[in-house]
Each structure stands twice: as structure tokens, then as C-alpha cells.
Amino acid sequence: MRQMSSTFMPLVRRARSESLWCNFGPPPAKYRTESCHSTLLGDPDKEIAWPLVERVGLLFNRDENPLSFIENLLRREGFKSPEELREELEIPPGMLTCRTIGDDADGLADIRRADPRIVLRQALILGLCGPSFYDPNKAVIWTNSRLSRKLDLFYPGRFYADN
């Protein structure tokens, strides 16, 4: 005898206490899982690729408090607030898409060796990055979490290839 499976789910809500139920689904089958990995980000061989604009991230010591370090560096360099950095440092002018990268990526600024202006520029950009987007028009928000991120920033291009 063949095994059948049924799944019951509410179809239409009539009132809070009443529901119509339906029976759907085939018998159990063997499942096949296939993973597809592809990205629009930074692949110059793709016609619709979003180009990499910049890589940002600061390498701190394990026992270092990122927020305290950056605030002290800001004062040592003669700035009163992160907003003053906008007038002194050049940053990307438009919105960009963020993608998290690993701590071992090339091009990250080591706070012990990098020029203080480079460290402050990276901190400024990180403070303008939300979970998914960099926006130069919003307020700079520095937190330990934001200053600890390592990101690739991409220019959002087209989604569709030309026919």
C-alpha cells in the first residue's frame, strides 16, 4: 500500500473562530537540495555587475574599545565632532550598497600603523553605513559595533542585462 501525506492549513478566514481547511500535497518524496551561488557585486566579467567602490574597516586590538579609541583620536587630531570630518575628508558622494567581509581581507586599516587621517576617514564612512547601505546624507553614528565592521561598498547598478 502506498503512503500518503496530508497537510492541513487554513484556507479562508470567515470569523475568528471559523476556518475552512484544505488538503494538499503529494506523497512524501525524496528531496534534492541544490545550492546556487552568484552575486552581482564586484564581478567585472558580468554585464550587470555592481562595481566595487571601496573597502573599509579598522583592525583593532582585541582588548581595544573601538569607540573610545576613535573619539580620543578625533580629539587628538583637533576635531570636536565626527560631523566636522565631513568638511576635511573626502568621502564617496552617493549611496552605496554594503557587504560584510572577513577580518583577513586586504586593504583594511590597522589602527597601530595607519595614518590618523586614514583611520578617521574609515571611521567616518563606517559611521555613515547602516546594515545594508552607506548614505553620506545621514548623521554620523559611531558605536563599537559599527566601528568594528569590515565592509565592501558597491555602486548599485542595473539589475537586468540588455537584450
pTM, to two decimals? 0.71
> Among residues of the chain, what percentage have pLDDT more than 70?
67
Q: So what's the pLDDT on residue 158?
A: 64
As a whole number, the mean pLDDT across the chain is 81
The 3-class SS string of 135-158 reads: CCCCCCCCCHHHHCCEEEEECCCC
Could you report the per-residue pLDDT of 101-146, keeping only the tens digit for each?
A: 999 999 999 998 999 999 999 999 999 999 999 999 999 999 999 9
d(CA 128, CA 150): 13
Domain boundaries of the chain, sorted by first residue: 52-154
